[in-house]
């Protein structure tokens, strides 16, 4: 297999060709994992192209979505970290930047001063509303090469990978 793949994909350029590999993947598992990484990077770039002109990173956008979903009450900072798609050690700095843009508000918990509650501001909600439709369109473009059944299969396969990973390694996603 000089093409750099373990699969028999003839309908489109395979991953090994796309990455200009000279040797095949050592296994379907390696090809699948590298494929996840490659697809994730493509998705990050495509979504970043929508949120970055609005002055946000994908991590900042993720935090704003978490806070919008939490409602007016907001959530503790540690809960934001736990809900984030891409974990970041610098959540405090990320929140500082969002607060500096008047997109989030932080307040100390009166019962436990160590806890900080975060909520989205009206400006933050407005920014997300402005991004909702362009992001929906970009998400559709990202998977438009798959029919509805293939999209649903992809979701099920991703779920199977996450569940197996969490069960075997005891690590939450």
Residues 52-66: pLDDT tens digits? 999 999 999 999 999
Please identify which residue in the block is written with the tokens 């798959």. 146
Domain ranges of the chain: 1-54, 55-135
Q: pTM for this one?
A: 0.83
CATH topology of domain 55-135: Arc Repressor Mutant, subunit A (1.10.10)
C-alpha R_g of the chain = 20
Measured between alpha carbons, how far is residue 79 from residues 60, 96, 131 in Å?
Answer: 15, 17, 24
Residues 92-150: pLDDT tens digits? 999 999 999 999 999 887 777 678 899 999 999 999 999 999 999 999 999 999 999 99
């Amino acid at each position: 297999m000089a093409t750099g793949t373990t699969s028999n994909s003839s309908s489109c350029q395979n991953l090994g060709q796309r990455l200009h590999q000279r040797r095949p993947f050592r296994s379907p598992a390696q090809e699948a994992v590298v494929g996840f990484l490659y697809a994730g990077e493509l998705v990050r770039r495509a979504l970043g192209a929508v949120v970055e002109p609005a002055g946000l990173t994908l991590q900042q956008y993720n935090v704003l979505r978490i806070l919008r979903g939490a409602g007016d009450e907001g959530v503790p900072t540690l809960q934001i970290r736990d809900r984030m798609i891409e974990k970041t050690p610098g959540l405090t700095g990320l929140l500082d930047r969002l607060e500096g843009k008047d997109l989030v508000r932080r307040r100390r918990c009166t019962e436990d001063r160590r806890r900080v509650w975060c909520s989205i501001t009206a400006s933050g909600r407005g920014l997300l509303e402005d991004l909702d439709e362009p992001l929906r369109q970009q998400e559709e473009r990202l998977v438009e090469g798959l029919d509805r059944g293939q999209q649903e299969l992809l979701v099920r396969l991703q779920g199977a990978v996450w569940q197996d990973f969490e069960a075997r390694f005891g690590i939450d996603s």
